[in-house]
Structure 1
Amino acid sequence: METLTDKAPGKREARKEERRLAILEVAKRSFLESGYSGTSMSAISAELGGSKGTLWSYFPSKEELFAAVLDHATVAYRQQLSSVLQPSADLYATIVTFCHSFIGKITMEDGIRLHRLIAAEAGRFPEVGEIFFRRAPQPTQRMLADFFLHEMAAGHMREDDPLAAASVLASLCIGGLHQRVLWGIVEPTPADVEKEARYAADIFARAFDIARS
C-alpha cells in the first residue's frame, strides 16, 4: 500500500519542475523583450518572488539560463522533426514538409524576435551566438544530416557530405521570406510559407538529383 512518504518525493519533484518551468517562462519573456544584455538574474528573481539563491540553484549563470530557455523552446520542434524525417518512398515530399515546418517555425513571432536578439547582441556577447548555434541550428542540421546520410546510401539523392547538404537546405529556408520578415518588410501568410517551402525544396532537389513528384 502506498504511503505518504512514498508520495512525497514525487510531489517535491513536481514542484521543482513547476518552479523550473516558471523560471523559464519569465526568462524567455525577459530575453525576448529586453534582450540578453537587458535581462538580469536579479530582475527575474524579483518577478518570480523568490530569493536569488533559489534561482541560482536552478541556473548558476545567465548563460546557462539562456541555454535552458532555448532548449525548452526547441524540444517540441525537434520531436516534430523526428517524425518528419523518416524514410519514405517520396523523398521530395519529405523535404517539402521539412521546409514548410522549418520556415513556418522561424517566421513565427517568437522565432523572429529571437533571431533579432541574436543579430543585435552576438557581436558584444559572443557566448550568445555560440549558445544559440549549439542549441538551435546545429541540432537541426545534424538531424537533417543523419537523414540525408541514409537517403544517399539508399541512392535516393546524389552522394555528398550530408552535413553540408543539411546546411544548404537550411540556408535556402532562411534566405528569402525569413529575411523579409526579419527586417519587418512583410508579414508572413500561410500561402507565403507554402510557396517558399516549395521553392527551397525545388532548388535543393535539382542540386542533389532528387526526383520530384
Structure 2
Amino acid sequence: MTTQDSPPIPSKREARKQDRRDAILTVAQDYFLEHGFAGTTMSGIAAKLGGSKGTLWSHFPSKEALFAAVLDRAAKAYRARLSQLLDPDGPLEQTLRTACRSLVEKVTSSEAGALHRLIISEGRRFPQLGQIFFDLAPQNTRLLLAEFLKGAMERGQIRPADPIDAARALMALCMSGCHQQMLIGRLDRPVPQDIAADADFAVDIFLRAYASPA
C-alpha cells in the first residue's frame, strides 16, 4: 500500500471524539438490551454515562439515531470479519462452510439473541426498529454474501441464478436450526458441534440446489 493510499491519521481531537462516541455506543447498547427500546431514554443513557444530556444529543439527534448507530457499529464489525472469510480464491465448499459457521455463531450469540428478542417484542409499537435492523444487519450481510455468490456463478462453481435470492436461501437455511430454537426459548446457547452441524446442513442443501449443470 502506498502512502497516499493510507488513511489519514486522526487528530487528537478527532480521536477523543471517536473514543467518546464509542463509549456512548457501548453504554447505549447495554441500556437498550436491558431496558428495551420503549424503556430507554436519552436522559437515562446520559446519566449512565455520567455526562450531560446535551453532550449525548450533540452526537446523536434522537433515540432512533442512537439505536441505528449501535446496530451499525456491530454490523460493520461483523461484515468486516465475514468479508475476510469469503475468499474467492479458496475452495467454494470449505469457504461456504466456514462463512456459515461464522454466521450461525453470530446470530446465536447472547448479544444477537437479546437484540432479536427486542426487535420482535417491540416491533409492533415501533415499526421503524424492524426497518433499521433489517437495513443495517440482515440486508447488508445478504448483499455481501450475494456478491461472493455472484462471483462463484461467474466462475461456473454454481449454476447461474439471482445471487440475492441465493444468499437469502443460504442465510435462511443457516438460521433454521439453533437460531430458530433460541428465538422461541427452547435453547439457551448452542454448543460448537450444533453450530457446525447447522452450517454443514445449510451448505449441503444449498450446493445441491445450486449445483452447476453437468
Q: Which residue in the other structure is 1:124 paired with?
A: 125
CA separation in 1, counterparts of 2:212 and 2:183? 30
Q: Which residue in the other structure is 1:206 paired with?
A: 208
CA RMSD in angstroms comes to 1.5
TM-score (normalizing by structure 1)? 0.91
Matched, 1:88 2:99: no
Q: Is the 8 A contact 1:105 1:111 kept in 2?
A: yes
CA separation in 2, counterparts of 1:10 and 1:144? 35
Q: Which residue in the other structure is 2:193 paired with?
A: 191
Unaligned runs of 5+ in 1: 1-8
Amino acid of the structure 2 residue aligned with 1:70:
L
SS in 2 for 1:209: coil
- 1:35-67 CA deviation, whole Å, 9 max, x = no partner? 111111111011112221111110001111011
SS in 2 for 1:38: coil
Q: Which residue in the other structure is 1:3 paired with?
A: none
Amino acid of the structure 2 residue aligned with 1:208:
Y
Q: Is the 8 A contact 1:91 1:210 kept in 2?
A: no
- 1:6-63 CA deviation, whole Å, 9 max, x = no partner? xxx8222222112111110110001111111111111101111222111111000111
Amino acid of the structure 2 residue aligned with 1:106:
V
CA separation in 1, counterparts of 2:91 and 2:19? 42
Amino acid of the structure 1 residue aligned with 2:143:
R
Q: Which residue in the other structure is 1:150 paired with?
A: 151
What is the correspondence of 1:99-110 to structure 2 with a 5 Å cutoff?
99-110=100-111
What is the correspondence of 1:132-143 to structure 2 with a 5 Å cutoff?
132-143=133-144
Q: Which residue in the other structure is 1:175 paired with?
A: 176
- Evaluate the alpha carbon distance shift between residue 49 and residue 96 of structure 1 in structure 2; reply closer, same or farther with a 3 A threshold: same
CA separation in 2, counterparts of 1:156 and 1:11? 49
CA separation in 2, counterparts of 1:206 and 1:179? 23
Deviation of residue 184 (structure 1)? 2.3
Q: Which residue in the other structure is 1:5 paired with?
A: none
Bigger Cα displacement from structure 2, 175-184 vs 144-153: 175-184
Q: Which residue in the other structure is 1:57 paired with?
A: 58
Identity in percent? 52
For this pair of structures, how many residues does the alignment match? 203
Query: Any runs of at least 4 consecutive aligned residues in structure 1 with deviations exceeding 4 A, and if so which?
Result: none
Q: Which residue in the other structure is 2:114 paired with?
A: 113
CA separation in 1, counterparts of 2:30 and 2:63? 14
Q: Is the 8 A contact 2:46 2:56 kept in 1?
A: yes
SS in 1 for 2:100: helix
TM-score (normalizing by structure 2)? 0.91
Q: Is the 8 A contact 2:170 2:206 kept in 1?
A: yes
Deviation of residue 210 (structure 1)? 6.0
Deviation of residue 102 (structure 1)? 0.1
Amino acid of the structure 1 residue aligned with 2:14:
E
CA separation in 2, counterparts of 1:68 and 1:94? 30
Deviation of residue 89 (structure 1)? 4.8
